[in-house]
Amino acid sequence: MPLWPDDLLPGVATVVADGVTRVVAPNPGVMTGPGTNTYAIGTSSVVLIDPGPDDDRHLNRLLDLYGDRLRAVLVTHSHLDHSPLARRMSAATGATVIGFGPAPRARGQGAGGHHFDGHDQGFMPDRRMSDGERFDVGDFAVDAVWTPGHTSNHLCFELAGTGLLFSGDHVMSGSTVVIAPPDGDMSAYFESLEKVRRRTPRKIGPGHGAMIDDPAAVLDDYLRHRRQREAQVVACLTGAGPDGVSVDDLVEQIYTDVPSALHPVARFSVWAHLRKLAADGLAKSCEPDDIEAVWSPGEK
């Protein structure tokens, strides 16, 4: 496990912007980096963004810091490392749980039960926020930005008037984002990246890792990276023989710059690229909803 900076260690409360504090949950790992970032906005009245996993240590730390001032818990999306603690925080403080909507229904993904199911199936917000809606706390306000792609119920939140965007898992610090069908959608993810880029945020507080001080450069890199991966998939499809090519074949050919331990995760993003390419007419498969399917070039 990497050694993280002191301000990204579990339980450390770090001021990351005027009126904004970050507390990292104790869930470091390959997919979570140092852990899930919980952000607290405000002083006399506090709003939390992404309370994190169902962990007693994190719950008690957040209650100690903000429990008597907590007004609302905002959730970027319903993955298990972001939303589960919301209900317990609400029960302990009376805070309103806010999100785009409930967790998408769990669905199998591919033959043999292959899936990347990380949703908190019990997540249900007390209040739903739609794209462009504002939550006003008095001293500050937070605007919702619907950013489907990583999940269909993903929201980013912008601290109104500051250019500070809390990105959840839409954009991370130091790594790319896994897009896992069927709920994950690469076409939607491209559109959401472009949408956030047009907002020209001044700073991003990601769901994992350090603050992003150069959002334009990072968003451009994200878009460039995804376009490069898509071009690689198209090239491999074009070079495939009459028997076509599988997702695993494509991962082996394309992800030579990624440790093999991460290949099982990378296959979901490749599958997402293939599904996008199929919608664009550049790839085809008899079973596009099966991660084990064989793919070949499309008609375009």
Domain identity same for 71 and 113 = yes
What does the pLDDT look like over 174-230, one tens digit per residue? 889 999 999 999 999 999 999 999 999 999 999 999 999 999 999 999 999 999 999
Domain identity same for 183 and 272 = no
Which of the listed residues 213, 248, 278 is the one where a domain comes to its end? 213
Domain presence at residue 1:
no
Phi/psi at 163 (nearest 5 deg)?
A: 75, 10
Domain presence at residue 116:
yes
Domain identity same for 178 and 242 = no
Domain presence at residue 125:
yes
Residue range(s) defining the domain that contains residue 125: 6-213
Domain identity same for 247 and 132 = no
**pTM reported for the whole predicted model:** 0.94
Domain identity same for 23 and 152 = yes
Domain presence at residue 56:
yes
What does the pLDDT look like over 97-151, one tens digit per residue? 999 999 997 654 433 333 455 899 999 999 999 999 999 998 999 999 999 999 9
Domain count, the chain: 2
Domain presence at residue 279:
yes
Domain identity same for 157 and 257 = no
Domain identity same for 192 and 268 = no
Domain identity same for 94 and 123 = yes
Look at the block and give the residue holding tokens 């008690």. Answer: 60
Domain identity same for 106 and 197 = yes
What does the pLDDT look like over 232-282, one tens digit per residue? 999 999 988 788 999 999 999 999 988 888 899 999 999 999 999 999 999
In the predicted model, is pLDDT for residue 156 greater than 80?
yes
Domain identity same for 23 and 162 = yes
Whether 265 and 184 have beta carbons less than 8 Å apart is answered as no
Domain identity same for 49 and 124 = yes
Spatial separation of the C-alpha atoms in residues 175 and 155, rounded to whole Å: 19
Which of the listed residues 166, 184, 213 is the one where a domain comes to its end? 213
Strands (E), the chain: 13-17, 20-24, 37-41, 46-49, 70-74, 96-99, 127-128, 134-136, 141-146, 155-159, 164-168, 203-206, 245-246, 283-284, 294-297
Domain identity same for 82 and 35 = yes
Q: Is the dihedral of CA 268, 167, 216, 12 positive or negative?
A: negative
Q: What is the CATH number of the domain that holds 173?
A: 3.60.15.10
Does residue 5 have a cis bond before it (omega within 30 degrees)? Answer: no
Helices (H) and strands (E) in the chain, counts: 6, 15
Q: What is the CATH number of the domain that holds 232?
A: 1.10.10.10
What does the pLDDT look like over 20-43, one tens digit per residue? 999 999 999 988 999 999 999 999
Which of the listed residues 183, 213, 243 is the one where a domain comes to its end? 213
What does the pLDDT look like over 54-94, one tens digit per residue? 999 999 999 999 999 999 999 999 999 999 999 999 999 99
Whether 186 and 273 have beta carbons less than 8 Å apart is answered as yes
Domain presence at residue 79:
yes
